[in-house]
Structure 1
Amino acid sequence: MEKNQVLQKPGNRFMEAWKRNPLISTGVVLILMVIIQTGIMIYNFGSGSIGELLLSLLTNWLNILRNNAPVGIIALGMTFAIISGGIDLSVGSTLVAVGAVVMAVVDSTGLLASVGITGVPAYFIGIVVGVAFGAFLGWLNGVLIAHGKLPPFIATLGTMQIFRSVTQQLTQHANPSVPKGFLQIANLKVGSFYIMPIVYWIILAAALYVVSKRTTFGRHVYAVGSNVRTARLSGIDVNKVKRRIYMLTGVLVAFAAIIQVSRIGSMDYASAGSGYEMDAIAAVIVGGTSMAGGKGSIVGTVLGMLIIGVMNNLLTLFGVPPFLREACKGVIVIVAVLLQKKEADA
């Protein structure tokens, strides 16, 4: 009997780890998708040297990472919101509002330029103002949820409409000009590649991993998500934690907005950020964060975002229409939540 248990032990350990640690299943899925993606890239490469093939593969992968970096940064904030038992549907509209403010501040014909503040000082002020404004909008969400006692879904659904519509109203006659120097924030070349958005994403992910695992705030986020009543009885200021969570999300959306503005040099206030909340939520859930709260990780979210990014690219390569690509994301979210529910019931 003991011999059979010993023989079965490695398999049992693996299955137990598979069930308990969603990073394993998420990692396996990502590896499989990367293999498929790489195989298709090699198949479509045609003729050329090994060096050219490797350069082509590297360029394609960097493009996938760079294109998904802004949403990946937003997903980091969404992770904290969902771990706490909440959600933020206003991230796309917050991105538009912050982007409008940043462009107004750094406008080469705007207020700062008129008083002689240009170049790096103007860019620095624009970034600081943008981050502060993002924090303010996130704080508004936090106040509505913590003190207004509104469900996060309702509060952020309302602010999603407010932020975008007010931004469109105030900017309908505006035509800001983003200086070329500001564009270098996201478009600075490192060697022969444009990788700065990826670098920002990695730095923020690493910093927030430390915050989630090594700080009192991180522990409080998990405690609030696990059981609000128990957290309150243990002395945690639940309202303060919730305000900080949504302020953090607003700050991260502001960083994403700055990257978007500096990459493109403009922003379509009607459509920019549209669907970002769906992509961010999908990345967080696919990464193993529980919609019930109290469970999740930054690493899982990064892996989940990579899965969403690779999936989008694969669907494009297979010629799947854009509308059906969104349907695929919806299916992934539903399946991920169903699997979470099955594990919880077990």
Structure 2
Amino acid sequence: MTTTTTAAHAVPIALAGTRERPITRVFRAIGVQNISLIAAIIALAAAIGSQNSAFFLASNIKTIGMAVTISGLLALVQTVVIIMGGIDLSVGSVAGLASVTSAMIFMNAGSIASVLGALAIGAVCGVISGCVVVFGRVTPMIATLAGLIAFKGVAQLVSNGRAQGYTGADPFYVFLARGTVLGMPTLILVLIIVAIFIHVMLSYTKVGRNIYAVGGNDTAARLSGININRYILGVFALAGTIAALAGILITARTGSGQPISGSEGLEFQSITAAALGGVALRGGKGSIGGTILAVILLGILLNGMSLLGVNPFWQNLAQGTLLVSAVIIQQVRNGERRVGLPK
């Protein structure tokens, strides 16, 4: 009888001993990667603020938020592409083409037509890249590298390499560039809405689960009945559409369509942010929260370098260093063999 009582109470006692503390559950929910990014953001902000107190002004914080909107949009959709097991090097060129297109259409048909036209062209560019991957059996890196060059060439051809149109007096474009909603800048609000949409898609829908499955193991995904080709086309179409949205915001901020200026190098910023945010470059793993934190970290870094009078050319070096560091950290965590080391 005594033995039975002891055994009956043994399980609850053992469970009580292994019950997680609330703070442990919070840390596990946030994730080690995100906690590291938050710590890095705090440390970097403190370091910059100690050198220039203007960093903590509300106006400067707002400037950082508005400055990261365009690169943030591309980083969000780059995250989806990489989770699926691909990469999109053409998003910057698509943004430039959409910027030119939106301004040129605006001059003839108004703001709404210009937005819809630019988004349509972005989707078409994405579908073209997807078709090259699916039907041409070309790797996403090569297919979108070709797109980077080709779409930039189209933007230069239709614009003769010059800025096009003027949207600075149009109420809609002015609202996009400098408007607010309940005190929040429209640019930041657009980024938040897109981030929520993609997060919900990836985390709470069948489409999102299948995207992770394709990136994790495309063979297993195919055998389970997932139409991989359809997902490739759909994700690249989404990438082109969001890149076009970024191009529309470039037009709004500059007041004209920019074939290259404003979009140059955005593809590499998006990849850096995604990798820094913990997205596995081999696919199948990543989160929108980590990408957003990485975008904020990059925004603070670039803003701080400007405030401290650092030569702008160092910005590219800093981003390249962060990208390499992020990849090395991923490999170490996953136990992957680095090139050049013995087995």
The TM-score by the shorter chain falls in which range?
0.7 to 0.9
Equivalent residue number for residue 151 of structure 1: 139
- Listed as ranges, the matches of 1:7-22 within 5 Å are 17=28, 21-22=32-33
Q: Secondary structure at the match of 1:140?
A: helix
> CA offsets per residue over residues 84-125 of structure 1, 9 Å max, x none?
111111111101111111111101xx3x3xxxxxxxxx2111
Contact 1:84 1:294 in 2 (8 A): yes
Equivalent residue number for residue 124 of structure 1: 112
Equivalent residue number for residue 5 of structure 2: none
Normalising by structure 1, what TM-score? 0.84
- Name the CA shift for 1:332/1:192 in 2 (closer, same or farther; >3 Å): same
- Name the CA shift for 1:207/1:173 in 2 (closer, same or farther; >3 Å): closer
> CA offsets per residue over residues 185-212 of structure 1, 9 Å max, x none?
3234338978110111011111111111
Equivalent residue number for residue 83 of structure 1: 83
Select which of 294, 314, 318 maps to 2:308: 318
Contact 2:100 2:258 in 1 (8 A): no
Normalising by structure 2, what TM-score? 0.85
- Look up the equivalent residue of 1:106 and give its one-letter code: F
Q: Measure, in 1, the Cα distance between the counterparts of 2:298 and 2:178.
A: 26
Equivalent residue number for residue 41 of structure 2: 30
- Look up the equivalent residue of 1:247 and give its one-letter code: A
Equivalent residue number for residue 324 of structure 2: 334
Equivalent residue number for residue 70 of structure 1: 70
> CA offsets per residue over residues 111-151 of structure 1, 9 Å max, x none?
x3xxxxxxxxx211111111111111011111111222111
Task: Report the CA distance between 1:321 and its aligned residue.
Answer: 1.6
- Listed as ranges, the matches of 1:1-346 within 5 Å are 17=28, 21-42=32-53, 44=54, 57-107=57-107, 110=108, 112=109, 122-172=110-160, 176-179=164-167, 180-181=169-170, 182-190=172-180, 195-345=185-335
Q: Secondary structure at the match of 2:68?
A: helix
Unpaired stretches in structure 2, ≥5 consecutive residues: 1-12, 337-343
Unpaired stretches in structure 1, ≥5 consecutive residues: 46-55, 113-121
Q: Secondary structure at the match of 1:271?
A: coil
Contact 2:213 2:284 in 1 (8 A): yes
Q: Which has the larger radius of gyration?
A: 2
When structure 1 is superposed on structure 2, of 33-42 and 129-138 the one drifting more is 33-42
Alignment root-mean-square deviation, CA: 3.0
Equivalent residue number for residue 49 of structure 1: none
Q: Measure, in 1, the Cα distance between the counterparts of 2:182 and 2:138.
A: 49
Contact 2:163 2:256 in 1 (8 A): no
Paired residue total: 321
- Name the CA shift for 1:240/1:192 in 2 (closer, same or farther; >3 Å): closer
